[in-house]
Amino acid sequence: MTNQPQNTEALKKPAFITGIAYVYALTLWSMIKTFDTPLVNRAPLYLGSWASPHLQWDYYTIATLIVAFVTIGLFLGHGWPRWLALAGTVAGWAVSLPLHDTRGIGLYTVSVAAGAIVLGLLFLAPSARAYFSRKSQANVSPSMRLRARAFVATLFYVVGALAIYSAVLDGFIHTGKLWLTFAAILVISLPCLLLGMVARWNIASAYRDSATVLVATALASLLALFASVVFIHSTRPASLALVDFSQPIVAAGIALIGYVLARMSKRRTSSVAATVS
């Protein structure tokens, strides 16, 4: 790997925007898996929603497409996905409004809070506003070689993130599978992260991207676990004794590793800048 800094769009983009893209990618994966059921258009999706099951599934189908476009757009660094995310999120709040069953209020509150935080970061964060403004005015783009490296690295990172996310969520519901979570991390996620770092071919960028993947995946996992706890507590409180609360600890550990990599990236960038100057 080279230590030379690369003046690419990926390096200019705030890490949290890429992190949100990974969160959307993981959300997309969960949404697609939801369709693997014979209860499509029959069972309600949102606890206590005023909407009929059919209307809920119609919205969910459209929302899945929206999330797919937002994911791709954010990875590419465009500004338009923010508005698509805003429209889809607000529509989701409207459709899932728990007017028929107050048990859905807790989960609805989590959904609104999470959506508001994401939208707030995309629209109000100074670094995001500055980035999207520069992006719309930029007349230069990375070379095809750099684009190819970024694309390949992102594919590896997404696979690694999906392995962690799926293992943590599955292990939370099916107790006694903590070893499977670690197996997925060591056998799938770790090699994918390493291959992604090699594809980036820049140490500082590799550390930074890996940190973003790990932190985003950990936060997405923790949010999904928290939402699951709220749902179970609202519907079947006794079932909380059956879930594996060691999985959130694993997710927190992954976030910590991501933080360490982020610090390493910052040190590497500072070291290279000092050498150049």
- DSSP letter for each residue of 110-136: HHHHHHHHHHHHHHH-HHHHHHHHHHH
Domain boundary (111, 140, 169) is at 140
Distance between CA atoms of residues 98 and 78, nearest Å: 34
Q: Which two tokens stand for residue 182?
A: 């670690």
Integer CA distances (angstroms), 129 to 10, 44, 126, 186, 259, in order: 16, 38, 5, 37, 24
Query: Domain span at residue 39?
Result: 13-140
pLDDT digits (tens, 9 = 90+) for 182-215: 999 999 999 999 999 998 877 888 888 999 999 9
pTM score:
0.89
pLDDT digits (tens, 9 = 90+) for 148-163: 888 999 999 999 999 9
Q: Are residues 118 and 131 in the same domain?
A: yes
Residue 45 resides in a domain: yes
Q: Are residues 170 and 265 in the same domain?
A: yes
Residue 2 resides in a domain: no
